[in-house]
A and B are shown apart, each in its own frame.
Chain A
Amino acid sequence: MFSRDDVALVINNLFEPVWESVRAVPIVKIDFGNGKVITRTLNGNIATYVCTADGDVLDIMAGIYTPSQYIANLRQFYVLPRFVDQKGKDKRAEMLKIYHETQEENLKKDGLAALLVDERRDISKMRVIEKPVVRLLKPAHVAQSQGREVNKSKPDEEPPKLDNADDLANWKVLAEDTRINEISRRLEVHALLKESGLVRPEKVTKRLYKDILHADLDDPYLGLGEMLFANYPFAKEDRARN
């Protein structure tokens, strides 16, 4: 993802980016004993947070996304700090709660998130807006103002031109993951952040991974233990050794 020019351009231009590892990713190596070794990762997952300069978490994308949806969400993330601070920093917590409540409501009702619209972009040359406003609008209202319709049934993204059938299949899986993340996981994230209020990332990370990404960071086997050890005759010895 971050090797793509379009994604890197948006991130480098609009954000101060940083990455961190929450834990080592489980790796499975199968050594066939003839020089052939297959190495695979298991149960890895990702999350992208937007935070203020004070370190407050404003929103999170949990899981994997197609590049175009990721960029679209990043552009919303870029506007979000201006939305929550437009009535002053002392009102940030209140505005953030409104944001998450509104998003939760929209997702439950329409299956679509509300959109942040920065009205500074609509300034015509003949008009000066003294107090630029960032509004949180339903997608239908945004589309209407732009002279188009919102069609929930139509996929937001057409697949790129892929010659290889496997690549196309993988893209479809990614697109479906994105769709699920945009609805179900975003709903869970909004509920989590509405409840937690203004917090630093470390205060929500474990809950995010455990409850939303289903990877308990405190579990040494990342949720795989029961499946791996249930019928294994040497499970006790393994656990004692580890």
Chain B
Amino acid sequence: MSGRRRRILSTLRSLACLCLVGTLASAVMGEDLVPNNTARPEAIGAKIPRDVGKTVHIEPPTKAIVATKSANVPNADNPKVQPGLVKWHKDFTEACGASKKSGKPVLLFQMMGKLDDQFC
């Protein structure tokens, strides 16, 4: 028998031994050997927590923020709109100049976002 043939047979014997060991181990453990991909009987109907990382740790803060600290913006687009009925000056400097002439005080309204965005 050639050396190469001996090596192939040796490898095949090793693999066969491993399969036998695995089979015996599975038999001891009671595993179903038929690869039919069915769930273990004791898992069906059992309430096992799923996606714990996501549902318990990762997502709740985001959900809480969206639920309690956000305002509803029904339209995903945010088109430009007239910023109410007030006659706004274009900037603070212009408003101060107008105030010097009219004698009226300046009213500065500050916000996050833009008053001429539909949703702000």
Contact = CB atoms under 8 A, between A and B. Distances in A.
A8 to B, nearest CB: 4
A65 B78 CA distance: 24
B61 A230 contact: yes
Contact of A25 (B61, B84, B112): B112
Interface string B80-102: 00011111111110111011101
Given A40-B70, A228-B62, A233-B58, A18 B120 contact: no
Given A11-B107, A22-B110, A48-B107, A17 B85 contact: no
B91 A18 contact: yes
Nearest to B110: A47
A43 interface: yes
A21 B112 contact: yes
Nearest to A43: B69
Interface in A226-241: 227-228, 230-233
Given A2-B86, A14-B104, A233-B58, A20 B91 contact: yes
Interface string B3-26: 000000000000000000000000
Interface residues of B, number: 48
B65 A1 contact: no
B111 A19 contact: yes
B113 A8 contact: no
A74 interface: yes
B69 A201 contact: no
Given A18-B95, A25-B120, A8 B105 contact: no
Given A39-B119, A233-B58, A15 B104 contact: yes
Contacts of B92: 18, 20, 55, 201
Contacts, number: 188
A2 B115 contact: yes
Residue among A18, A21, A47 facing the most chain B CB atoms (10 A cut-off) = A18
How would you classify the secondary structure of chain A's contact residues: helix, strand, loop or mixed?
Answer: mixed
Interface stretch (A77-85, A104-112, A116-124): A77-85
Contacts of A1: 84
Interface string A60-76: 00000000000000100
A44 B113 CA distance: 8
Interface string A189-207: 0000000000001000100
Contact of B88 (A18, A42, A224, A233): A18
A81 B114 CA distance: 28
Contacts of B74: 39
A206 to B, nearest CB: 11
Interface in A209-238: 215, 224, 227-228, 230-233
B57 interface: yes
Given A22-B112, A28-B66, A228-B62, 5 more contacts: A20-B91, A25-B120, A42-B70, A54-B96, A227-B61
Interface of A: 1-5, 7-8, 11-12, 14-30, 37-55, 58, 74, 77-78, 80-81, 201, 205, 215, 224, 227-228, 230-233
A-B residue pairs, 6 tightest by C-beta: A2-B84, A25-B113, A8-B85, A53-B99, A15-B107, A40-B70
